[in-house]
């Protein structure tokens, strides 16, 4: 099934709101998914898994007190850390921090539900930042992933593209990059030609079902408040 970039971005944004997340997080998720498509790597499946985890209350937000010490953990013991919720804050923090001796500090995230979503949020975060981000984690089969994000482009220093799509939970590390990195083993850059993408029909269907939760049922009372086409009033 072919879907346009704009539809992917707006539908994932609406889906995030449909599972109970605020508009800002929905916009971040939609933009990250769109940028993922433009660099030609990844699938929407990871975003669908992350949305499903929030909907089913398997993943939650982060403990704010711990994030002040650069460590993002689930705010509820025993549940996973939501990549959609924690990603934007963790990436913004990682791109701006330094230690007192001018050496880059690191942000850590524990038990992340979908590591690839964090990576794609990091990737889009660097588009208009003077710094890049280094994102690393170990997959479930103990493969080390190390990705370098710079101005919206991605270089894989360690690991393979297919390893990015393995789900979590995973322990992740984010750190700033002060200079443009040398090319990694595998490189991806944004391409304007990537305007549509073949998507998994089942995953896309579930994402659209989450988005449809925002639709207001067409009842007489809802039409009075603006939903649907309104109530027709006939004059004698």
E strand residue ranges, the chain: 2-4, 59-60, 71-72, 80-81, 107-112, 132-138, 144-150, 153-158, 170-177, 186-188, 196-198
Average pLDDT, the chain: 85
pTM, entire model: 0.85
Report the alpha-carbon distance of residue 115 to residue 122 in Å, rounded: 11
Indicate if the pLDDT at residue 216 is higher than 70. Answer: no
Give CA angle at 62 (56, 66), nearest 5°.
Answer: 155
pLDDT of residue 228: 45
pLDDT of residue 103: 62
- Give 67-104 pLDDT, tens digit per residue: 788 999 999 999 999 999 999 999 999 988 865 455 66
pLDDT of residue 23: 96
CB under 8 Å to 111, separation ≥6 — which residues? 73, 74, 80, 81, 168, 169, 170, 171
Contact 227, 31 (CB under 8 A): no
- Residue ranges of domains in the chain: 2-216
Instruction: Look at residue 154 and give its three-state secondary structure.
Output: strand
Task: Decide which of 42 and 93 is more confident.
Answer: 93
Confidence of residue 57 (pLDDT cuts 50, 70, 90): very high
């Amino acid at each position: 099934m072919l879907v346009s970039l704009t539809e992917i971005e707006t539908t994932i944004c609406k889906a995030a709101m449909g599972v109970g997340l605020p508009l800002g997080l929905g916009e971040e998720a939609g933009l990250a998914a769109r940028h993922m498509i433009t660099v030609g790597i990844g699938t929407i499946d990871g975003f669908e898994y992350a949305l499903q985890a929030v909907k089913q209350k398997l993943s939650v937000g982060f403990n704010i007190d711990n994030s002040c010490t650069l460590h993002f953990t689930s705010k509820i013991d025993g549940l996973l850390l939501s990549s959609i919720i924690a990603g934007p804050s963790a990436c913004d923090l990682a791109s701006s921090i330094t230690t007192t001796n001018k050496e880059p500090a690191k942000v850590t995230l524990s038990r992340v539900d979908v590591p690839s979503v964090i990576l794609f949020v990091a990737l889009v975060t660097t588009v208009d930042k003077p710094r890049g981000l280094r994102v690393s984690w170990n997959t479930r089969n103990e493969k080390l992933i190390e990705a370098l994000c710079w101005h919206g482009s991605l270089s894989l220093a360690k690991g393979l593209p297919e390893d990015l799509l393995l789900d979590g939970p995973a322990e992740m590390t984010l750190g700033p990059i002060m200079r443009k990195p040398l090319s990694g083993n595998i490189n991806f850059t944004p391409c304007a030609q990537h305007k549509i993408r073949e998507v998994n029909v089942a995953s896309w269907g579930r994402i659209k079902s989450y988005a449809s939760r925002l639709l207001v049922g067409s009842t007489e009372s809802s039409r009075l408040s603006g939903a649907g086409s309104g109530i027709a009033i006939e004059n004698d």
